[in-house]
A and B are shown apart, each in its own frame.
Chain A
Amino acid sequence: MFEILLDATVRAGTPILFATLGAIINERAGIINLGIEGLMLIGALAGFSGTYLSGSLFVGVIAAFCATFIAGSIHALITVQLRGNQIVSGLALTMFGVGVTALFGKSMVGLTIVGFKRVAIPGLSQLPFIGKAFFNQDLLIYFSFFLVFMIWFFLYRTRWGLGVRSVGENPAAADTCGFSVSKYRFLAVTVGSGFVGIGGAYLSLASTPMWIENMSAGRGWIAVALVIFAGWSSPRAMLGAYLFGGITAMQLRFQAMGTTISAHILQMLPYFFTILVLVISTHRLQKGASQQPEGLGLPYDREDRK
């Protein structure tokens, strides 16, 4: 039972994990992106159509990344180049994503593809308890593990990662040090959006291989909240995404097994945890250990530098 539950947790958490990782890259460079929900939909549709038209799941994933990379560049253009309001631009991106996928997705409704299949990793998948859940999954899930590590490595162990973090913390100082603020921010937004798109593609290629309008059903907004929950760190994003996925999976399975715990209490748990984590992280914030990038949400203009 524990193995089944953990397996369902990973599968339910993965689309949220990709979206949260993408959002973290955005926000680490100082750009708030509320367009995650729209980007997930664009990724889901691009991934599905790419796979349907080419017959290859790999092409679908690449299509999802490219489509959201382009959609993300709209947000980047407005917020980085034109220094527009990040909140408004992000919300507009979400509405744009919902509308544009509904329009172009009409012909894809009702079509079917063969989705991602499980690939067991020899040896590791035999591990007790965690083997089945973590090492008998599809390729996109393995990619998400890799991405969690890569983002951490990139941000803390490479010069480019240092650049991304510094344009997010203090763009003026980064500019003085010779980092191009607009280049770093632009790429962080577009590449981050691309990973969000892969999260969307996970929905239409792995969890439910089909295209339906609005199929992300609010997961993008959970990702926006999870960025804060995770304290802008990729390993903690993994924890947060699996926590959310796990509680959904758990309450459904408790019902199927016929337990007497009220479904309402179980459904309350994810939000209860959000409040709990916010309380803890705010408490730490008061002690001076702020995790939020200092320059988050502020447009940078060299001329306005003080």
Chain B
Amino acid sequence: MKKAPLLLLLVLALAFCLPGCSQQEKKEETSSAPAPAESKAQEQAEDKGIKAGFIYVGPVGDAGWTYAHDQGRQEMEILSYVQPSTFIETVPEGAESARVINGLALKGHNLIFTTSFGYMDATIDVAKRNKDIVFMHCSGFKTADNVGTYFGRMYEPRYLSGIVAGKMTKKNIIGYVAAFPIPEVIRGINAFTLGVQSVNPQAEVKVVWTQTWFDPGVERDAADSLLDVGADVLTMHQDAPATMQAAEARGAYVIGYNSDMRSFAPNAFLTAPIWNWGSLYTKLAEEVHNGTWKSEQIWWGMKENLVELAAFSSAVPAEVQALVTEKGNAIKSGTLHPFAGPIKDQSGKIVIAAGQIAPDGDLLGMNYFVEGVQGTISK
């Protein structure tokens, strides 16, 4: 037992030493060249302040995911040293996006945000060739010296919205319109269901996959199919507000997502877990400007106000509002974690033991449904 830490230390020391050595060598080899380049880059940054560029996966007018990012971008621009930023909408994910990201890099941007999972490899690729630019990639897991990642613990407000749904359902059937069976979406469904079950163990959450992030017609049809099987509260993980309209038209309740969408369902709307990218974007712009930025994997939650629950509608009774606010404060203070055991999966097997909290790594790779979800994850 005593030898183990020593061995670990040795391995770690070696691991740090090797890349360290090679970097030093490189610096020595070309010591004359990079120095002026670096100072030039610094000068540029000081001269221009922050010039940020954003790559969006959807249109700014989607009223959802991209809209929320764009609100954050505008909030960041309030800072005096932030220049008017550039954004490019509806950029296809995958290798093609590298061209667009590179275009921003060439046009003198010194802070570039790539706001969808599918830009991960392209971001890393372009970053290799532009060492003096800071890249921030949303929802990915690959980093580099000049590439950081950021995302939010959306499962926290999802859990709270589940409590609302569990309290509001009368038929004990809740419908969930979901895009793709990937960990991010599954985590949201599980957190929501745990919230439901914490106040109403009889209620079950039915999941319908649409296999698309954005198709109002299909989303609406999926929501209708859930209403047809008796769901009286709906929620969704989609980019369009079609689910809201379906609930409004059939007199059910609905919980939104991404941004406050109550205008689409004035009577049906209860609340919505929403993104506040502005606080994070402002902080990152500050850090890059002050030169304190370093590559890290940011995963902020309700405590940092990156994610929150939108204001309740008048349909939510006061005692439910009070309960949810109390639970929200508990999450913020760290005394309540949605994924604290014991938690069973669909087959009844315990996946998170009593007294344990699922580590972040498990949450990021979540690929099972918890008890109370009715639906399948096709593998």
Chain B residue with the shortest CB-CB distance to A105? B61
CA–CA, A252 to B209, complex, Å?
Answer: 7
Interface residues in A1-44 by Cβ distance below 8 A to B read 4, 8, 11-12, 15
CA–CA, A12 to B242, complex, Å?
Answer: 14
CB 8 Å contact bits of A211-255 with B (1 = contact, 0 = none): 011110111000000000000000000000000000011001101
Contact status B217-A207, CB under 8 Å: yes
A207 in contact with B90 given A105-B61, A106-B61, A109-B61 (CB within 8 Å): no
Contact status A110-B225, CB under 8 Å: no
CA–CA, A257 to B62, complex, Å?
Answer: 30
Chain A residue with the shortest CB-CB distance to B239? A212
A252 in contact with B63 given A217-B212, A258-B374, A258-B375 (CB within 8 Å): no
- Expressed in whole angstroms, the minimum distance between the Cβ of A206 and any Cβ of chain B is 10
The contact of B221 among A8, A102, A260, by CB within 8 Å, is A8
Contact status A263-B224, CB under 8 Å: no
Chain A residue with the shortest CB-CB distance to B208? A255
Query: Is B378 part of the contact surface with A, judged by Cβ < 8 Å?
Result: yes
CA–CA, A73 to B264, complex, Å?
Answer: 35
- Expressed in whole angstroms, the minimum distance between the Cβ of B256 and any Cβ of chain A is 12
Residues of chain A within 8 A (CB-CB) of B61 are 102, 105-106, 109, 212-213
Contact status B209-A263, CB under 8 Å: yes
Chain B residue with the shortest CB-CB distance to A258? B374
Query: Is A177 part of the contact surface with B, judged by Cβ < 8 Å?
Result: no
Query: Is A208 part of the contact surface with B, judged by Cβ < 8 Å?
Result: yes
Query: Is A306 part of the contact surface with B, judged by Cβ < 8 Å?
Result: no
CB 8 Å contact bits of B197-238 with A (1 = contact, 0 = none): 000000000111111101111111110111011000000000
Interface residues in B105-123 by Cβ distance below 8 A to A read none
Residues of chain B within 8 A (CB-CB) of A248 are 218, 221
Chain B residue with the shortest CB-CB distance to A111? B263
Query: Is A256 part of the contact surface with B, judged by Cβ < 8 Å?
Result: yes
CA–CA, A249 to B210, complex, Å?
Answer: 11
The contact of B210 among A111, A112, A207, A252, by CB within 8 Å, is A252
The contact of A215 among B207, B208, B240, B245, by CB within 8 Å, is B240
CA–CA, A215 to B376, complex, Å?
Answer: 28
The contact of A256 among B175, B242, B245, by CB within 8 Å, is B175
CA–CA, A253 to B61, complex, Å?
Answer: 29
Residues of chain B within 8 A (CB-CB) of A305 are none
Q: Which of A213, A256, A260 gathers most chain B CB within 10 Å?
A: A256
Contact status A203-B224, CB under 8 Å: no
Query: Is B49 part of the contact surface with A, judged by Cβ < 8 Å?
Result: no
Instruction: Report whether over half of chain A's contact residues are helix, strand or loop; otherwise say mixed.
Output: helix
Query: Is B241 part of the contact surface with A, judged by Cβ < 8 Å?
Result: yes
Residues of chain B within 8 A (CB-CB) of A282 are none
Contact status A253-B62, CB under 8 Å: no
CA–CA, A262 to B58, complex, Å?
Answer: 29
Q: Which of A8, A209, A217 gathers most chain B CB within 10 Å?
A: A217
Contact status B225-A208, CB under 8 Å: no
Query: Is A267 part of the contact surface with B, judged by Cβ < 8 Å?
Result: yes
Residues of chain A within 8 A (CB-CB) of B245 are 208-210
Residues of chain B within 8 A (CB-CB) of A203 are 216-217
CA–CA, A226 to B15, complex, Å?
Answer: 59
Residues of chain B within 8 A (CB-CB) of A212 are 59, 61-63, 216, 240-241
Interface size class of A (residues with CB under 8 A): 35 or more
Residues of chain B within 8 A (CB-CB) of A4 are 228
Contact status A252-B211, CB under 8 Å: no
Contact status A110-B215, CB under 8 Å: no
Contact status A12-B221, CB under 8 Å: yes
Residues of chain B within 8 A (CB-CB) of A217 are 212, 214-218
CA–CA, A273 to B2, complex, Å?
Answer: 67
CA–CA, A208 to B212, complex, Å?
Answer: 16
CA–CA, A8 to B207, complex, Å?
Answer: 19
Query: Is A264 part of the contact surface with B, judged by Cβ < 8 Å?
Result: yes
Contact status A264-B228, CB under 8 Å: no
A214 in contact with B374 given A112-B263, A256-B226 (CB within 8 Å): no
CA–CA, A210 to B216, complex, Å?
Answer: 9
Chain B residue with the shortest CB-CB distance to A44? B216
CA–CA, A219 to B221, complex, Å?
Answer: 15
- Expressed in whole angstroms, the minimum distance between the Cβ of A256 and any Cβ of chain B is 4
CA–CA, A263 to B206, complex, Å?
Answer: 15
A210 in contact with B215 given A8-B224, A256-B226, A257-B229 (CB within 8 Å): no
The contact of B217 among A15, A105, A264, by CB within 8 Å, is A15
Residues of chain A within 8 A (CB-CB) of B59 are 102, 212-214
Chain A residue with the shortest CB-CB distance to B218? A248
Contact status A252-B376, CB under 8 Å: no
Residues of chain A within 8 A (CB-CB) of B210 are 252
The contact of A249 among B214, B216, B221, by CB within 8 Å, is B221
A207 in contact with B216 given A109-B61, A215-B240 (CB within 8 Å): yes
- Expressed in whole angstroms, the minimum distance between the Cβ of B258 and any Cβ of chain A is 12
Residues of chain B within 8 A (CB-CB) of A111 are 263
- Expressed in whole angstroms, the minimum distance between the Cβ of A246 and any Cβ of chain B is 11
Q: Which of A112, A207, A210, A252 gathers most chain B CB within 10 Å?
A: A252
- Expressed in whole angstroms, the minimum distance between the Cβ of A99 and any Cβ of chain B is 10
Contact status A253-B216, CB under 8 Å: no
- Expressed in whole angstroms, the minimum distance between the Cβ of A207 and any Cβ of chain B is 5
Q: Which 10 interchain pairs have the tightest Cβ spacing?
A: A213-B59, A217-B215, A109-B61, A256-B225, A208-B216, A252-B225, A213-B61, A253-B225, A255-B208, A208-B242
17 pairs from A and B in contact (CB 8 Å cutoff)? A12-B217, A105-B61, A109-B61, A207-B220, A212-B61, A213-B59, A217-B212, A217-B216, A252-B225, A255-B208, A255-B209, A255-B225, A255-B375, A256-B208, A260-B376, A262-B378, A263-B211
